[in-house]
Copies of this chain bind each other. A is one copy, B any other.
Amino acid sequence: MNLKQLSELLGLSQTTVSRALNGYPEVNEATRERVLQAVKETGYRPNKAAQRLATGKAGSIGLVMPTAPGHYSDVHFGEFLTGLGEEAVRHDFHFVIMPADPDDEIGALRRLAISGNVDALFVAYMRGHDPRLPLLQSLSMPYLVHGRSYGSEPDYPYLDIDNEGAFYDASKLLLQLGHTRFALMNGPEHLDFAIRRKRGVVAALAERGLDLPDTCVSHSSMTDEQGQFAMEHFLQQPEPPTAILCSSTVLALGAIRAVNQAGLKLGEDISLIAHDDVLPHLKPENFSVPLTTTRSSLRAAGVRIAQRLIGTVKQDGAYPEQELWKTELIVRASTGAAPRLDQNFGGV
């Protein structure tokens, strides 16, 4: 069933039917009713490709998903996408996901942009001086960045959380509890959020004249395995840290295993604060020692990003170009007063 057939069925012109469907004013209400009724009965749906070709609008948001054999998928991806979708479904928007070799993200982004398949682009996992930014800016297509790119002029539309502030505040809390030996379990070194989180910790420590030795910083992907590995490494040091900042609850999972295996008590011998993206399958409050966290819902960010992007495409909203969300610091049992310094609590 296409427009032509439908209009013949109704004894109307294609124009009239099209207008009736798209809410143009110059069509009789009774006629419109008849058309709508026929649509219901026949199950007619306009061909999107044709609509796209004629209007230049596709009703879709494009994003690039890096993938390759051996390339780790990201636990957070599904949750974020669910948030995007939650909003998109209200506007009958969909997503076009272009898988891409991690080495060719730029190329994939460009191809996606000029394919004519999408109205807007979304990018995430920003890096310092991210090369995708100039590309996006040169394209004449709406886009929105999740996160920021450290070192680039912040004149692009983004939504980010205050990573630096979050980790600054978390560090402050631990300092107040008397901790002096800190460690940071961070995400991949080149990623923007990792850079900023580290800055937050360093800034807080600096205020007390403390520093964060390189041996007390780990960078890795967000898996429980890496968390365990990093924590074991920290604990093997001659003077192990007592305060741990952790970029993800998934990392924390492994870290806590290492703490337990070393015979240490979380919240007593070791304090830990993790960043919580509010993943539904891993709640920090349910950890055997409930986790103190800096919290910001990834899903909520997804909703908001879809909102802004769709709004821009539909031209119906003046959204702020830049948004920086504060995180919440939720204190639970994994943080406690620093153990007395002279106390020996033997590593591994």
Contact = CB atoms under 8 A, between A and B. Distances in A.
Contacts of A225: 281, 283, 286
A71 interface: yes
Copy number of this protein in the oligomer?
A: 2
B280 A257 contact: no
B73 A99 contact: no
A86 B99 contact: yes
Interface stretch (A33-41, A50-58, A144-152): A50-58
Contact of A75 (B75, B93, B94): B75
A78 B71 CA distance: 12
A79 B223 CA distance: 13
A297 to B, nearest CB: 12
Contact of A47 (B67, B85, B116): B116
A299 B96 CA distance: 20
A78 B86 contact: no
Residue among A115, A223, A281 with the highest chain B CB neighbour number at 10 A: A281
A77 interface: yes
A58 B53 CA distance: 13
Interface in A238-258: 250, 253-254, 257
Interface residues of A, number: 67
Contacts of A77: 77-78, 81
Interface string A80-105: 01101110110001111111110000
Contacts of A81: 65, 73, 77-78, 97
A341 interface: no
Which of A53, A71, A257: most chain B Cβ within 10 A? A53
Contacts of A281: 72, 75, 222-225, 250
A300 to B, nearest CB: 10
Nearest to A55: B49
A288 B256 CA distance: 10
A117 interface: yes
Nearest to A281: B223
Interface string A314-348: 00000000000000000000000000000000000
Among A95, A99, A282, the most chain B Cβ lie within 10 Å of the Cβ of A99
Contacts of A223: 280-283
Nearest to A77: B78
A45 B111 contact: yes
B228 A257 contact: no
A209 interface: no
A74 interface: yes
B75 A101 contact: no
Given A225-B283, A260-B288, 10 more contacts: A45-B115, A48-B116, A72-B281, A74-B78, A75-B78, A88-B99, A89-B101, A94-B96, A222-B281, A257-B288
Top 5 A-B residue pairs of the complex, sorted by shortest distance between their CB atoms? A85-B99, A73-B82, A77-B78, A67-B85, A47-B116
10 contacts: A47-B115, A49-B117, A73-B82, A88-B99, A94-B96, A97-B97, A225-B283, A250-B281, A253-B253, A254-B286
